[in-house]
Amino acid sequence: MRLERLRIRGLRCLAEADIELGEGIHVFVGANGAGKTSVLEAAFLLSHGRSFRSGGAKEVLLQRGASSLSVFGEIRHQDGRIGRVGLGREGARWDARLDGRSASLGEVVSECAVVCFEPGSHALIAGGAEERRRYLDWGVFHVEHEFLLAWRRYQRALKQRNSLLRSNSPVAPELFLSWEAELSQTGERIHFMRVRYLDQLLPHLEQTIGGLLPELGAIELRYRRGWPEERDLAEVLADQRDRDLSRGHTTQGVHRAEWSISFEHAPMREHLSRGQEKLTALGCLLAQAALFASQKGEWPVVCLDDLASELDLAHQTAVVGQLAGVGAQVLVTGTELPAPLQSLSAHVFHVEQGKVAAPAIITS
Ligand SMILES: Nc1ncnc2c1ncn2[C@@H]1O[C@H](COP(=O)(O)OP(=O)(O)OP(=O)(O)O)[C@@H](O)[C@H]1O
Ligand SMILES: [Mg+2]
């Protein structure tokens, strides 16, 4: 898929930006603080319903002094179909639109797929489990139709059980049973879909990470589902109820799942250098994009924020090599045109103080 048009209003320093995009590589070049990352943030927002930046709360995204924020994207799919997605915010909540009608956030996100590597991406490897679950679930969501419904039902049951756990008055045990049955039923399905996804992801990880970090040897993917193996989740929840009552939340279930990557020559996360963490995270994102492409017949949009300051030249070249030729639309930012892109055909946009100029096309 590719974004053909991106219309941004009131996002950070981008008061009004109308960007037309084509095939292949697009580079957004400009000084620090010019608004380059904000362009990628707008594309990512359409595919995730949130920012990738840790300081990307909705309040911060809205341009200071502006009353509304909106992002529209026109997406051309491989089969020629065009999808028009939009997210707007006036006041507290997001208003999602698909093809001119009001839609759910899930509908918008399923229409538009963007993966983004950015300076915070190493958190996928070095950060908490939540980051890795989010990555996993985004991938599962796009390839398993049932996932969203199961996930919503699980979240609702979890919230209900947690509020019973925090109730100030004693709660009859029977009240827990229906929510625990729901958690168990939907949790088993989520677990099953996650395992199937990770199995399918592994060969792609071997290819992408293997190409970026061959010196680390074979990759092993570890996964823990969030409650003991061989046990029924409903039974575990019933057994854990007293403990959970004292903690005030549900301590077992798919919301506590964890996965990690280890290498033959770097068995622990702490064995990786900062750069290797970043490259592993990048390999995960590219593998997710490749799996998406193999299942959906089209690549997601791939964003690489600050490519040149994140990776050394050899690794920048390796990434560009992995992406060139697969037909993906790629959006890159940098204070200068990254060296490996100078010999390729690319659309170059100059970004200056929140203004995105019409592109020039460079060819080698
Ligand atoms: N809510 C906001 N309202 C107005 N301006 C904002 C808001 N949030 C951030 N900014 C400004 O918008 C700009 C954001 O730029 P962005 O992070 O996209 O820059 P960049 O071109 O990627 O820079 P760098 O090269 O430093 O990464 C900064 O100048 C920042 O001060
Ligand atoms: Mg930036």
Average pLDDT for 255-270: 95
Domain with CATH 1.20.1050.90 in the chain: 128-299
On the CB side of 286, CA atoms within 13 Å amount to 26
What is the CATH superfamily name and number for domain 1-113+301-364?
Answer: P-loop containing nucleotide triphosphate hydrolases (3.40.50.300)
**Beta 346-352 vs 25-29: how paired, if at all?**
parallel
Q: Is the per-residue pLDDT at 364 higher than 70? A: no
> pLDDT band at 363, cuts 50/70/90?
low
Q: For 190-203, what is the mean pLDDT?
A: 98
Residue 163: band (very low, low, confident or very high) from pLDDT cuts 50, 70, 90: very high
Residue 59 has pLDDT above 70, yes or no: yes
What pairs with residue 89 in β-bridges? 69, 94
Query: pLDDT-derived band of residue 88, with 50, 70 and 90 as boundaries?
Result: very high
- pLDDT digit string (tens) for 119-138? 999 999 999 999 999 999 99
The CATH superfamily holding the domain 128-299 is RecF/RecN/SMC, N-terminal domain (1.20.1050.90)
CA pair distance 234, 246, nearest whole angstrom: 19
Give the rounded percent of residues in the chain with a pLDDT score beyond 70.
Answer: 99
- Is 51 close to ligand 1, i.e. is its CB under 6 Å away? no
Q: Quick one: which atom of ligand 1 is closest to the CA of 333?
A: 22
- Which residue do the tokens 């809205």 mark? 62
Residue 16 has pLDDT above 70, yes or no: yes
C-alpha 76/C-alpha 111 separation (Å) is 10
The pLDDT value recorded for residue 200 is 98
Regarding pTM above 0.85, the answer is yes
Q: Where in the chain is the domain with CATH 3.40.50.300?
A: 1-113+301-364
| 63 touches ligand 1 (CB under 6 Å) | yes
Say how far apart CA 218 and CA 364 lie, in whole Å.
37
- Cα distances (angstroms) measured from residue 302 to each of 93, 116, 194, 216, 328: 27, 6, 23, 25, 7
Q: How far is the CA of 354 from the centre of ligand 1 (A)?
A: 8
> Please, is 131 exposed, middle or buried when counting C-beta atoms within 10 Å of its C-beta (0-12, 13-18, 19+)?
middle
